[in-house]
């Protein structure tokens, strides 16, 4: 948690708004009067604020209190109405939220859950919060591809203006995956500060996703390889699951 608290300071310098994700959300959950969205693990709220500005009634959540405060500050500075809450996605409760037209969890946050039981809890909680016909969108890294190609590093994210780079490495360990991060920031004096962190991810693969969907209350779902909804394969960059409540 301490690393992510530090990361919140640089989050917007590393991660820009995922425009293809926003387009997918808008197409899957069309805007109408009082259309409600719930963003799970929203970080500093880039997508939530974009959708809020577009007219959606958005509630954005994150477990990290510093991320939550960053979202509140950004919403105020941008004059965008977004409800911001601290929330563990495995403990979604109908008493804490209105019924939603759509729920989304993007940016690989879902893979930070510890096991399939926790993931199923999120599926079940999302189902209960959705209105009939509502949509749940999940996006994670395509771990079928990571394991098939034995990928041990993702592309380095560089921001020359802010003089930082963000490195991400994998150590493949059976059913678990060790995710190692290194953020390097150069100060005005030319000195570099380096921050390291590692955490264990649950590398959910397509077959496991479909088993979760089958065990959940959802009866309709599709799996795609990106936010453009291209066919999923072992070469796809992502796994995008779109589930619909009957």
pLDDT at 239 over 70: yes
Residue given tokens 């994150």 in the structure block: 62
**CB neighbour burial string for 26-36, b if at least 16 within 10 angstroms, e if fewer:** bebbeeeeebb
| Residue 96, pLDDT score | 81
Q: What is the mean pLDDT of the chain?
A: 95
What is residue 175's DSSP assignment? T
Q: What is the DSSP string of 112-150?
A: GSSSHHHHHHHHHHHHHHEEEEEEEEEEEE-HHHHHHTT
- What 52-55 contacts at long range (C-beta under 8 Å, 24+ apart), as own/partner pairs, is 52/80, 52/81, 52/82, 53/78, 53/80, 54/26, 55/31
- When pLDDT is cut at 50, 70 and 90, the band that residue 4 belongs to is confident
What is the distance between the alpha carbons of residues 159 and 5, in angstroms, rounded to a whole number?
Answer: 20
Query: Are 223 and 241 in contact, with CB atoms under 8 Å apart?
Result: yes
Q: End-to-end alpha-carbon separation of the chain, Å?
A: 37
- When pLDDT is cut at 50, 70 and 90, the band that residue 176 belongs to is confident
64 backbone dihedrals φ, ψ, rounded to 5°: -85, 120
Query: Are 20 and 104 in contact, with CB atoms under 8 Å apart?
Result: no
- When pLDDT is cut at 50, 70 and 90, the band that residue 95 belongs to is confident
What structural domains and CATH numbers belong to the chain? 2-142+204-244 (3.40.50.150), 145-201 (2.20.25.110)
pLDDT in tens, 31-61: 988 899 999 999 999 999 999 999 999 999 9
How far lies 67's CA from each of 12, 147, 201, in Å?
11, 31, 20
| Residue 1, pLDDT score | 57
What is the distance between the alpha carbons of residues 182 and 63, in angstroms, rounded to a whole number?
Answer: 21
Helix axes 206-215, 116-129, angle to 10 degrees: 50
Per DSSP, the three-state class of 209 is helix
What is the distance between the alpha carbons of residues 131 and 127, in angstroms, rounded to a whole number?
Answer: 8
pLDDT at 83 over 60: yes
pLDDT in tens, 192-224: 999 999 999 999 999 999 999 999 999 999 999
What is the distance between the alpha carbons of residues 213 and 32, in angstroms, rounded to a whole number?
Answer: 27
pLDDT at 122 over 90: yes
User: By C-alpha distance, which of 37, 20, 54 is closest to 224?
Assistant: 20
| Residue 14, pLDDT score | 96
Contacts of 121 by beta carbon, 8 Å cutoff, 6+ apart: 90, 91
Tokens of 103: 């729920």
């Amino acid at each position: 948690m301490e690393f992510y608290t530090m990361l919140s300071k640089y989050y917007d310098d590393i991660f820009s708004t995922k425009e293809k994700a926003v387009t997918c959300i808008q197409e899957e959950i069309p805007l109408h009067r009082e259309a409600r969205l719930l963003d799970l693990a929203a970080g500093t709220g880039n997508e939530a604020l974009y959708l809020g500005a577009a007219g959606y009634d958005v509630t954005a959540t994150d477990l990290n209190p510093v991320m939550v405060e960053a979202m509140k500050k950004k919403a105020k500075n941008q004059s965008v109405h977004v409800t911001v809450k601290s929330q563990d996605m495995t403990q979604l409760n109908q008493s804490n939220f209105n019924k939603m037209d759509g729920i989304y969890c993007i940016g690989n946050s879902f893979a930070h859950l510890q096991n399939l039981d926790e993931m199923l809890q999120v599926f079940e909680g999302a189902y209960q919060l959705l209105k009939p016909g509502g949509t749940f969108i999940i996006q994670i890294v395509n771990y079928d591809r990571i394991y098939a190609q034995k990928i041990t590093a993702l592309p380095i994210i560089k921001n020359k203006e802010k003089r930082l780079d963000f490195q991400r490495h994998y150590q493949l360990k059976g059913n678990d995956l060790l995710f190692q991060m290194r953020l390097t920031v150069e100060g005005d004096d030319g000195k570099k500060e380096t921050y390291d962190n590692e955490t264990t991810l649950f590398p959910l693969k397509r077959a496991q996703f479909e088993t979760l969907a089958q065990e959940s209350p959802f009866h309709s779902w599709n799996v795609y390889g990106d936010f453009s909804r291209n066919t999923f394969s072992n070469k796809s960059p992502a796994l995008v699951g779109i589930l619909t409540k009957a």
